[in-house]
Amino acid sequence: MPNKYFNCPDGVTRTIEQCLDKCGKDDGERCLTLPTLHELSWGRTWNGKPSTTQLLNPTRMEYLKITCDYAITPKERAFALLGTQHHRRLELVAKKISGLLSEQMYQDLINTGTLDLLEPYEDMWDLTDMKTWGSYAVMKMLNAGSYERLHNSLQLNDYRIKAEATGLKIRKMRWQVTVRDGGTWQANKNKLDKIFLMDADKLDDDYVMCYFADKSKMLLDALDKKELPELCPFEERWDGRRCKGSLCEVHEFCTEGRKINKLPPLEVMNDPI
């Protein structure tokens, strides 16, 4: 059950279907253009097998996104829209260039993963993931020992392992980072280019596979038993910041999320499946 509702600017929650058909506000004026609302309304449909990005997210969050009809606030997804459009344009160009592999989907017994770009280098391949980050996030990524760098490296290493299982030899993994606030005082202070390549860390194969196998098992077991998973780990909650407001779009269905956002407690977590 992906996102089903929009939180509208007038404080009313309406179904996305209603909103796209006709604005329900008293003045009938849309808050954004119709194509923008269509794009922002996209949500992943659960097909029974988790993706790499789903498993990188907190298990409780993904469980609630799969099992609950939840609401999103369109304007809060503005930066995600920027990243999506940037990614899509580069994908279209890559598909026109002979010899490149773009948007390649791989899967194994654990999960699925879609690789942004594979570029040939002699008899090997360079694996690149496109990212649009703010300068604050980029500075965290530049710290070799940070949680953020490990978290994103897990994603690329999972892709690497899947590609190598098909016979491809991966020479290097990297991110192409577009700095969302590039050119501003803050980005210039940290000497950040507006767009640049950053090498990712190669992680031990067993560690990577165990990480995703464990996360997959936790999610699938929770869905099978219809039981709310344990509270998201502190780091996955971004030291508690992720529980606030729209940073977690399913916080209203979570005991911790309701407490952080000062909502009335749920006496019983009724299973929405």
Q: Which residues pair with 6 in a beta bridge?
A: 14, 72
Side by side, the strands of the sheet bearing 195-199 are: 101-107, 112-121, 124-133, 170-179, 195-199
Inform me whether the pLDDT recorded for 80 exceeds 90.
no
pTM of the model: 0.90
- Contact of 48 with 10, CB cutoff 8 Å: no
| pLDDT tens digit sequence for 114-170 | 999 999 999 999 999 999 999 999 999 999 889 999 999 999 999 999 999 999 999
Task: Tell me what pLDDT residue 267 has.
Answer: 63
CA atoms within 13 A on the CB side of 173: 19
| pLDDT tens digit sequence for 95-129 | 889 899 999 999 999 999 999 999 999 999 999 99
CB burial class (10 A; 0-12, 13-18, 19+) of residue 83? middle
Structural domains for the chain: 84-212 (3.90.320.10)
Using pLDDT thresholds of 50, 70 and 90, give the confidence band for residue 81.
Answer: confident
| pLDDT tens digit sequence for 227-253 | 999 999 999 998 889 998 888 999 999
Q: Which residues pair with 198 in a beta bridge?
A: 175
